[in-house]
Amino acid sequence: MDHFRQAGLRARKEELERAARFGADHVFLFTGGLGDGERGLVAARRRAEDHIGRLLELARRVGVKLALEPLHPMLAGDRTVITSLTSANDLCDALGHGIGVVVDVYHVWWDERLEAEIMRAGRSGRLLGFHVNDWLLPTRHLLTDRGMMGDGIIDLKGIEVMMRRAGFVGGLEVEIFSTNWWARDPGEVMEIAISRCREIFGGPSHASYLSRVLDSAMTLRITAA
């Protein structure tokens, strides 16, 4: 929770101002987990809501949204105390305009309220991003064993349909934290990711978006070389 101490707030203000200069639409915010020796999630969540409200005031002044990304409950101890889309939506409702949510399938695929909460976020115009990857069986590491789309058990197309029905018009962001994929050639990984997205999500709009991603990736590869 160091982000929320006075010195941390000053640093976050500078980061928000920098994001505004770059023309960023939103900035991600993670609360951190429990404090040293702390046991109570209820108190930690109340504290996080208060602190996020203070950061939101800063973000509104510079014209940048805050983006909450609920993470899997297995990360509540040290990463964030916001562990469901329901909690993220509740917090957005409490705090008002200028804050939204990012849906990462890895963290929310299991939630029985997922469709209802995606629709709820869509009705409020607060869907800011959509991250895709997959959940492997077995999962060998909490952070660095995500799967390539199609290699796991997540209903990726089903969740994407929910997002589109809720009004989300943004692109797919492939986010795979994986020691396996990190060890492979970046160009190969990019080509596989684009191929899988075409297979799973399809559609001319996705094909156009993914082509632009591939063009950008090729430029980056040439620059790196």
Residues 91, 105: Cα–Cα separation, whole Å? 20
Cβ density class 160-175: b for 16+ within 10 Å, e for less: bebbbebebeebbebe
Residues 56, 65: Cα–Cα separation, whole Å? 8
Residues 193, 171: Cα–Cα separation, whole Å? 14
* Per-residue pLDDT tens over the stretch 38-64: 998 999 999 999 999 999 999 999 999
How high does pLDDT run on average in the chain? Answer: 88
Q: Which two tokens stand for residue 38?
A: 């702390």
Q: How far is CA 59 from CA 121, 138, 152, in A?
A: 20, 40, 37
Per DSSP (E only), the strands in the chain are 26-29, 65-68, 99-104, 127-132, 173-174
pLDDT at 201 over 80: yes
* Per-residue pLDDT tens over the stretch 185-194: 999 999 999 9
pLDDT at 210 over 70: no
- The residue among 94, 103, 96, 85 whose CA lies nearest residue 28 is 103
Contact 194, 144 (CB under 8 A): no
Neighbours of 178 (CB within 10 A): 20
pLDDT at 5: 53
Q: Give the model's confidence band at 224: pLDDT under 50 very low, under 70 low, under 90 confident, else very high.
A: very low
Q: How far is CA 192 from the centre of its chain?
A: 21
